Amino acid sequence: MSAPYILVVDDEPDIRELVSEILQDEGYQVATAENGELARQALRERRPDLILLDIWMPDVDGISLLKEWAEAGELPCPVIMMSGHGTVETAVEATCLGAYDFLEKPLSLAKLLLTVERALEAHRLAQENIQFRARDTTMVEPVGNSQVMVRLREQVKRVAQHDTWVLITGEPGSGRETIARYLHAHSARRDGSFVDVGVSGITQGGAALELFGREQGGRVEYGRLEQAAGGILFLDEVADMDLEVQAQLVAALDTGTFLRVGGAEPVRLDARVIAATRHDLAEKVAAGEFREDLFFQLNVVPLHVPPLRERREDIPLLLASAVDRLVLREKLPYRHFSVAAQNYLRNHDWPGNVRELINLVQRLLILGHEPEVSLEEVKAALGQLQPAGAAPQFAGVVLDQPLREAREAFEKAYLEYHLEQAGGNIARMAQTVGMERTHLYRKLRDRGIEIKGR
């Protein structure tokens, strides 16, 4: 992983030179700018990890630059303000605009280094927290003692040591993202960001903006490739990427640089790319639906995640791990599975793989009351047994309710099923269910069905 990249913006040459030398001695990469316009140019050339920004400069003051960056969305990175003539009001205004801290000149070098270190660490922890909250309840690492999982974990650890591109294949819900995160945790880039992009969830025509960012009206929007600088970019369901964007990605991987949409200057690529798909990309290439050169680029190291039905001996351990995780993270009541229930689940086909197992465990922890999950509960949860005294059901829909509620319940179950079958790909789902995509989005929203994370 490359060292953090810091931009120092100050109109005083002595301060720029001194701060730059001190930071470089501490192992940071440093660029400098003597005024606001050069600072804007530096941000177009490369996204910094931190900015040291002087307030009083000849062309534009630091507060105005801070406002400009804040109005564009969010600050590109932590910003530490510097000034020899600052006031309390100026410091408060800078903080309200998102600045991390305010340092007075003459600078205390010890305080400068401490503030820089703390700002970078706070930003890293904030990004990790965002990623943590964005994840669903999948496992944090691949769980299982079966031979196939032991071999897969060993293989991932070996691959992690080399900064090559990786292609992960497997059925939806099998744990492809978990494998990618496990690889990230064991790589030299472990302290960098893990930026995940659900390709199938990107709006049509928006993939280039999402990946490469944009320059417009002198402002820069950083894409996912730059956000993942120093870390890993995870492209889930890469087979759904537009052919035009595939060509741009091939060029970026070939040259190590890319252009933002609307930009003219190349940006250096400093992210390891891990792609995942449910499809056989070789078949997609043969059908003309995926670029052959991109396939060979990504397929440097292939990893395959087996479906749950091929490692049934891991199911008791997965059940226990899911219970512990849901109790810890969601404060659900602890329950253990009876031996009969575990044995029954070992023989279930698990079309939804690990994701289906976790959803089942979550439902049983929420709805159950006894400390032990019984075989009858499991069968009922899987829709294979009608509990005594329960309202009659058809296809999982309770029939003892008004027609409108029953219809809405069926629609939700129907849409969730087809969304799962389509791997979260709205275009594919719309074709299957025979609905126009805009109407389908509205229907999913009305029924409270989340698309992200599928």
Q: How confident is the model at residue 134, as a pLDDT?
A: 47
Nearest to 353, CA basis, from 303, 314, 301, 410: 314
Residue 386 banded pLDDT, cuts 50, 70, 90? very low
pLDDT for 403 beyond 70? no
**Over pLDDT 70: what percentage of the chain?**
90
Could you give the CA distance from residue 360 to residue 155 in angstroms, rounded to a whole number?
Answer: 30
pLDDT for 68 beyond 80? yes
Q: How confident is the model at residue 364, as a pLDDT?
A: 92
pLDDT for 374 beyond 70? yes
Chain centroid to Cα 440, Å, comes to 25
Higher pLDDT, 231 or 71: 231
Q: How confident is the model at residue 415, as a pLDDT?
A: 86
Most confident of 53-67, 171-185, 420-434: 171-185
Please enumerate in sequence order all residues whose Cβ is within 8 A of that of 129, keeping only pairs 6 or more positions apart, or say none.
Answer: none
Q: How many CB atoms lie within 10 A of CB 147?
A: 10
Chain centroid to Cα 132, Å, comes to 9
Residue 73 banded pLDDT, cuts 50, 70, 90? low
Q: How confident is the model at residue 454, as a pLDDT?
A: 55
Residue 286 banded pLDDT, cuts 50, 70, 90? very high
Mean pLDDT of 264-286: 93
Q: How confident is the model at residue 339, as a pLDDT?
A: 94
391 contacts 423 by C-beta, under 8 angstroms: no
pLDDT for 443 beyond 90? no
Could you give the CA distance from residue 301 to residue 342 in angstroms, rounded to a whole number?
Answer: 35
Most confident of 29-43, 213-227, 431-445: 29-43
Average model confidence (pLDDT) across the chain: 86
pLDDT for 111 beyond 60? yes
Q: How confident is the model at residue 385, as a pLDDT?
A: 45
Rounded to 10 degrees, the C-alpha dihedral 36/37/38/43 comes to 90
Domains defined for the chain, CATH in brackets: 5-133 (3.40.50.2300), 147-306 (3.40.50.300), 309-390 (1.10.8.60), 391-454 (1.10.10.60)
Residue 167 banded pLDDT, cuts 50, 70, 90? very high
Q: How confident is the model at residue 130, as a pLDDT?
A: 58
**257-258 and 267-268: which strand pairing?**
antiparallel
Give the model confidence (pLDDT) of 311-361 as tens digits.
999 999 999 999 998 998 888 899 999 999 999 999 999 989 999 999 899
Could you give the CA distance from residue 178 to residue 396 in angstroms, rounded to a whole number?
Answer: 30
The answer to which of 53-67, 319-333, 386-400, 414-428 has the lowest mean pLDDT is 386-400
Residue showing tokens 């744990």: 175
pLDDT for 179 beyond 90? yes
Q: How confident is the model at residue 166, as a pLDDT?
A: 95
Higher pLDDT, 387 or 300: 300
